[in-house]
Amino acid sequence: MNNPLIKVAAISLLATMLGACTSSNVPNQHQASASALRSTGDMGVIIERATGQVQVVNHTNKNVLAEIDGLGDLSHASIVYSRDQRYAYVFGRDGGLTKIDILKDKIDKRVIQSGNSIGGAISQDGKLVAVSNYTPGGVKVFDSETLELVANIEATVVPSKGKTKDGQAYRSKVVGLVDAPGNKFVFSLFDSHETWVADFSSGKAEITKFKDIGLFPYDALISPDGRYYIAGLFGEDGMALLDLWHLDKGVKRILGDYGKGDKKLPVYKMPHLEGWAMAGDYAFMPAVGQHKVLVVNTKTWQQVTEIEAHSQPIFVMAQPDNRQIWVNFAYPDNNTIQVFNSETFELVNTLTPGPAVLHMEFTPRGEHVWMSVRDSNEIQVYDTQTQALLKTIPSKSPSGIFFTNRAHHIGL
């Protein structure tokens, strides 16, 4: 083996044999691990409300990865995500707070924190999860890692309501809970007509209370930049706006004609304010009890026009590029979706996916929209440019659809 050419050939042959052995005969540990890995960026969770289950999905491949059960009453459930998108926190109507590991397809932790809850939020730093409660009224805040209780914010006592079944003082129901910049949570109190800001930036709750904001706030939203908190009012027309940059200015009343009006039109379902579409300088809002979408200038908070719609809107949602607005409707016309141009306000298309279209969710860059069609027990996926149906996915009584990109947006 003194000939250098023979040495090179022998070494080359040995390397080839070792490579073949590694790739075909002996499993490569790193390759095996890589094949088992799952990225979270194009995943999501779908609520199956009738069965107490959720589906874990991949929106690139449009398929179901897993189904997880044991989540209790999901009749009005919502979800937020951890900063790393690995964990989904599910807020159940029965007071259950469930932390799901969407990489391992199982429940990581679960606590029953109240008798009746209505949603939640996760803090800006991802360390705190807050839950708004009906029974008993108030907000409970948990460590996002352990689900240990960090703070119990008791709502205002409402003497006129008497006492609860267990003899305790009745406290106001809490609605419209959102996260805000600066590790804050903002929420409204239905029975006592208030909005509170809970600031956790110092490590413990510092509460700022705004009273007499309007009668019976029923839901709220926060603008995408985290500046404006807006509560809808069930007991009177108008809305209540709080500028979180200038808390000293207090709550301002806007849109005095927004509501049921003097005619007291029949309202089959109050609109979801978190389903507002904000595109450019406009907010597109579902009118209460009317077959209209209202267009509001977000610089002046004055209505500029209205769009005639198929029926009473529930969710009015904008594609991520803000080019089109998608609207679903209340019962009995909840089999229909309408798509409008956000610039001209013209109708682009009317779709009829099927009975009880409850929720829509856009993929992060907006090429597709997923819709839950509850009474057909399916999810439908559409191309947003052509409005063509791309795929139908079986799902048991689906409602909310939540993709993991929500982890990086305020108020979602």
What residue ranges define each of the domains in the chain, with the CATH number in brackets?
113-254 (2.130.10.10)
pLDDT tens string 167-193 = 889 999 999 999 999 999 999 999 999
The three-class DSSP label of residue 159 is helix
Element spanning 228, H or E: strand 228-233
* pLDDT score recorded for residue 355: 94
86-91: which pairs have CB atoms within 8 A and are 24 or more residues apart? 86/40, 87/144, 88/45, 88/54, 88/402, 88/404, 89/120, 89/122, 89/129, 89/144, 90/45, 90/47, 90/54, 91/117, 91/118, 91/119, 91/120, 91/131
Structure confidence by residue, pLDDT tens digits, 6-24: 443 444 444 444 444 333 3
Structure-token pair, residue 52? 């107490």
pLDDT in tens, 220-231: 999 999 999 999
The answer to whether 208 touches 247, Cβ cutoff 8 Å, is yes
The pLDDT assigned to 2 comes to: 52
Q: If DSSP codes are grouped into helix, strand and coil, which group holds residue 22? A: helix
Tokens for 283?
């907010």
The pLDDT of residue 262 is: 63
Give the Cβ contact number of residue 21 at 10 Å. Answer: 10
Please state, as a whole number, how many other Cβ atoms lie within 10 Å of the Cβ of residue 41. 13
pTM for the structure as a whole: 0.89
For the four alpha carbons of 241, 243, 246 and 247, in that order, the dihedral sign comes to positive
12 φ/ψ angles, rounded to the nearest 5 degrees: -65, -40
